[in-house]
Structure formats: structure tokens, C-alpha cells
Amino acid sequence: MLLITRIIPDAVLARARAEYQTRELRHTGPFDPARLLSNLDGVTAILCNASDRFDAALINALPAAVKVIATYSVGVEHIDLDAAAARGIAIANTPDVLTDATAELALMLMLMAARRAGEGERLLRAGQWPGLTPTFLLGRDVHAKRLGIFGMGRIGRALARMAHGLNMEIHYHNRTRLPAVLEEGAIYHESDADFLGGIDFLSLNAPGGAGTKGWLNAARIAMLRPGAIVVNTGRGSIVDDDALIAALRSGHVAAAGLDVFNNEPALHPDYLTLENAVLMPHIGSATVETRNAMGFLALDGIASALQRFDKDQ
């Protein structure tokens, strides 16, 4: 039996029901481990979401029959991988199929933040457009500017390719330098200061977890050029919210485009007071095509894991 924690696209649910007996929690809001644990009789596979935290305590409480947890996400920092490995529980995620959709959203946030699109829309809807003047709602050019990508993985590289279309110069900072074939001309910076001091836009595309938690802090924000624009479609945990909010208030960071937040969905309330923050509710991969593809890939991962388990019996 396949337990599905959240509401998933109809096409994916239809395939899941065709392939498995399903138990569908259709859970919304904060994850409820107790509810999950009380619904696991007969379950061999779980399809969860990035907002469902499978810590060691929960994984150790799972019945022996559970052989695979598939997450409807590329990120896996919500799952204790060591605990799953110790239990012999396979983990499947959904890489690649969401790369371009997420990169598109990062590009959208760069453009919206630079061109003050959120402010413009709010002004129009509030009936406060004063009409055309040469200085009304001036933003900043994006074309031919310097884009710095923190986390030059699949999504970061897809964003770089899209930014080339705007004649942007690409810089990046990674744990390790990429081979030239993957760099595609992007300029690698080993040091934070070199990286942050030479860019106009910073896009955060690194994964979450302990290795990147709080990376964009007050000290690194101070290394950015005055007027830099920050975009985050990676994980909210990368950002020190208080530091970014202070920089947005001072104008040192001219604008931010944020799709991910610490403590989602309870984002830091001060973001809501900032006209120069463009805010999206974690919709990086949220297109019909991409979420279907993610679901099908997750089901493929479940099938592969169960086949491996049966073969090993």
C-alpha cells in the first residue's frame, strides 16, 4: 500500500491508484507525524512533501513494512537520510524535472525585483497611478548586469543559461569549482568577498541543510555592492532574515525576490512591510507540467525501490 501525505495532481494520483492500493491523507497545513503513524498499517511506501519532516524519531517509529519514502521535491533536507539508511528505507526525490521551472521563477523574481513590478501592480489595484512621469517607479536594468549564483547546481546552471539571453555576466560560488564544460563561461569565485563584491544580482540556488544555514548573513550582505538585488529560490534557511530585512530597509540591498522562507508558511512578518520585497509562496516548481513530471518520477522511484526490495528477498 502507498500512503500519500498531501494532495497531488490528478494525473499523478490516477497513476498511483492504478499501480497501488493507496491511503490518501490529503493533509494540508503543518505536518502531523502522529496522524501519519496512525495510518501506516499495511503501508510499504510513502509519498511525502518537502514540508513533511521525517526526523530520526519518526523514521525509527515507522513499521518494518515501510521500504521507501519518496519526496515530491528535489530537496531532501527534511528527511534524516542517515536514520533512513540505518533502517534500510530507500529515499527517492525528484531531481532534473523541476530544474527549468525553478530557474524560470528565479529569473522572474530578478526581473520583478529590479523593475519594481510588485509595487506597480499594487499601485494600479489601489487606484494610485498618478499617470506617466519620467521618474515614476524607476527600477534597474537587468540586461548586461552581473549575476552571482550561490549554488551552481542544475537549477543554478539553468538560470545562468537563461541569464545569458539577457547578456548577463555570470559569476558563481560553490563548495567546489565546476569542470569547464559545466561552467559554460561562468566565473568561479572561491572567496565570499570576491564573489559578493563583484555582482549586481545574487541568486541563492543552494540546497538547504546545515551546510548552507544562515549563509547570507549580515557580514556577507555587507560584502555586496550597495544597491545589489537578492533572489532566493533555494531554501529560506540560507538567509538570516533579520540581516536581509535590515539591508532592505537601509537600501544597501535595493530589492529582494523571495520564493522560500524560514519557518514556511509563517514567513518573517517584517517582509510584509517592505515595498522592495517581491514575495512568492514557494512556487518554484509549481507548474502543471513540472508537478506532473515530479509525481511520475517519484512513483518511478517507489517502484524501483520496491522491486529492489522484492529481488533481495
Q: Contact positions toward ligand 8YV, by CB under 6 A?
A: 49-50, 72-75, 98, 284-285
**Alpha-carbon gap, residue 258 to 199, rounded angstroms:** 18
Would you call 264 a catalytic residue per the annotation?
yes
> Contact, 15 vs 57, CB < 8 A?
no
- Residue with Cβ nearer ligand 8YV (183 or 264): 264
> Contact, 126 vs 116, CB < 8 A?
no
Closest distance of CB 58 from ligand 8YV, Å: 18
In the set 264, 275, 289, 308, the catalytic residue is 264
Q: Hey, is 28 helix, strand or coil?
A: coil
> Contact, 286 vs 258, CB < 8 A?
no
- Residue with Cβ nearer ligand 8YV (262 or 276): 262
In the set 282, 289, 291, 308, the catalytic residue is 282
Report the interhelical angle of 10-19 vs 288-312 (nearest 10°). 20
Closest distance of CB 280 from ligand 8YV, Å: 11
Closest distance of CB 52 from ligand 8YV, Å: 9
- 137 — alpha (psi -120 to 50), left (phi > 0) or beta? left
Closest distance of CB 169 from ligand 8YV, Å: 28
**Alpha-carbon gap, residue 133 to 253, rounded angstroms:** 25
Closest distance of CB 201 from ligand 8YV, Å: 21
- Residue with Cβ nearer ligand 8YV (72 or 172): 72
> Contact, 207 vs 151, CB < 8 A?
yes
Please, what's the b/e burial string for 289-311 (b: 16 or more CB within 10 A of its CB; e: otherwise)? ebbbbbbbbbbebbbebbeebee
Closest distance of CB 29 from ligand 8YV, Å: 13
Cell of 32: 502531523
Would you call 282 a catalytic residue per the annotation?
yes
Rg (CA), the chain: 21
- Residue with Cβ nearer ligand 8YV (75 or 148): 75
Cell of 129: 497611478
- Residue with Cβ nearer ligand 8YV (50 or 66): 50
Which residue of this chain has its Cβ atom nearest to ligand 8YV in the complex? Answer: 75
**Alpha-carbon gap, residue 298 to 45, rounded angstroms:** 11
**Alpha-carbon gap, residue 211 to 267, rounded angstroms:** 21
- Residue with Cβ nearer ligand 8YV (68 or 155): 155
Would you call 78 a catalytic residue per the annotation?
no
Known catalytic residues are 235, 264, 282
